Structure 1
Amino acid sequence: MDTGTKGETGAPQWVGLPGGLLTMRRTLLAFWAGLLTVGTGLLLGLLVGPPWAAAAAFWPAALGWGWVLLGRNWRSWRYAERADDLLISRGVLWREQTVVPYGRMQLVEVTSGPVERRFGLASLQLHTAAAATDARIPGLAPAEAERLRDRLTALGEARSAGL
């Protein structure tokens, strides 16, 4: 069965994001929390006094909280390819689902910044005529992002040819 086609029950087949996005975000969180812990501890310890350096314990606590939230956010992202459109779902507290009809797509681009490239990731950005469209799928493997770009571009051209 093709990925994203309707299954036996008629529901779309959702595809979650690979674990590389979660690894990247948690690594960045740990890096910044560690840097802020050391910086806050040294700064407060030298300027105000050693007892105040204990305030730097805020950052490891924020790290623990952020670690859990990043996991929940990562699990909330998913997408599904259907016959006429692409579904993108995300959000933990406020669920958001974007439906992008293939015939409405104007540009499909794959981007990968330096940090994403370091972790072997790429993002897919979909542009439509609507300025407010935020159709983006982050943290894909580059090969999957390119496959999706090529497939969506081909489907978009086929659907818009009839307009």
Structure 2
Amino acid sequence: MLKRDYKKELKHLYKPSAKKVVLVDVPAMNFLMIDGQGDPNSSQAFQEAVAALYPLAYTLKFMVKKGETGVDYGVMPLEGLWWSDDMATFSVDKKEDWQWTLMIMQPEYISEDMVATAREEVARKKNPSALSQVRFASFQEGRAAQTLHVGPFTEGCGSSVLMLTYL
């Protein structure tokens, strides 16, 4: 059985520093994605999004591991894109105004058909309320600034200020 460690293979993207902001070139990759808005600490939509993404990602992982390819890989970490309608007023003190896209990278051999099959299986077993909102899409961020946030979102001020200062 082939084992793939995408966090190691894509170390420049998935092992960033928590102490500084770095520029990276992010290639097109496939993701499970879901959009929402509100404070990630208190938004029901945020909790429901996470509750839909992870079971789908793990179901896909085991489909691949038990399937023809027999590849074993670790489920990738949760990623987020964060913004507000008016970026001039984007603030860590106004998280209720945040827009977000949560996403989990999927290996190149995951297909739309596989996602549909996994979605049906997750719906039968758990049926998270936001499951129908999850989409499978390619996303190419291109040139981006990144840093690692460590800890709960309530303590996100340090990494957010670091990023906003850099930009």
Tell me: higher relative CO, structure 1 or 2? Use CA pairs within 8 A at least 6 residues apart: 2
- Structure holding more helix per residue: 1
What TM-score does the superposition give when structure 2 sets the normalisation length?
0.27
Flag the structure with larger Rg.
1
